[in-house]
Amino acid sequence: MNSQRLRVEIEGGVGRVTLARPDAANAIDLGFAQEFEAAALACREQNVRVVLIAAEGRFFCAGGDLKSFSAQPDLPSHLAEVTRHLHSGIATFVELDAPVVLAITGAAAGAGIGLVGAADVVVAGKSATFVMAYTAIGLSPDGSSSWFLARHLGVRRALDLTLTNRVLSASEALDWGLVSRVVGDAQVEAEAEGLVEKFSIGPTGAYGASARLIRSAGDRTLREHMAAESESIVNLSRSANGIEGIASFVERRSPHFGE
């Protein structure tokens, strides 16, 4: 893709999205939001089997580009457009069957936390930090950050981070459930690439169905959710990957999953 703020590569069923505004702390302006949406749509259209989101530079993502925002003659209208594209991109990535792996070193702030929260598996370096920062400038959260914080951390901890703007360390983020694993900064890339390799040859449909069940678990009654589980596993048992998975187990061999 021809991008200025992101580097996007799609090859061999793997989508790689790299935030590439290191001189601006990978902050989100309108161009970034538009390119992020386009990257998500490209991954969907090309039926990727896994997505890796990473960043160049010392910062993962500083959130909204306040310098750009301050120069707008009509900031409310501008923010509406920025969030429209950014939110569309985030929703598209979340809705993929393909697992989204995110690798982070350095700071994530504001909507950068939304990108972290929306990923399926997050590999964080020990240098990673997380801060909401919205209320410090008189604004409220965007970029899915409040939605995912409440689900990953619980309401009390989400309120603590959002109202006080305290900085969460990598170890705290692991303990609280915002990231999946923490490794040394030098090991983040290798750890993330190992997950990419695993997911790229796995049962993509089963990954997507499983993620949807887990994300929706708090929105239904037990009986409603078990009915959804039943429907999902029945449908997957008819799929080529479901048939192959069971056959390979019975035959004691490694499975060969297609798309």
Q: What amino acid positions are annotated as catalytic residues?
A: 87, 142
Amino acid making up residue 250: V
Backbone angles phi, psi at 100, to 5 degrees: -105, 115
Helical ranges in 140-220 per DSSP H = 145-153, 155-164, 170-176, 188-200, 204-215
Please give the Cα distance from 140 to 159 (Å, whole number).
Answer: 12
Q: Extract the tokens encoding 259.
A: 């798309």
Contact (CB, 8 A) for 213 and 223: no
Q: β-pairing, 129-131 with 168-169?
A: antiparallel
Please give the Cα distance from 36 to 42 (Å, whole number).
Answer: 10
DSSP 23: G
Q: Extract the tokens encoding 211.
A: 């993620």
Please give the Cα distance from 82 to 65 (Å, whole number).
Answer: 11
Please give the Cα distance from 158 to 64 (Å, whole number).
Answer: 19
Task: Give the SS3 label for residue 68.
Answer: helix
Q: Would you say how long the chain is, in residues? A: 259
Amino acid making up residue 192: A
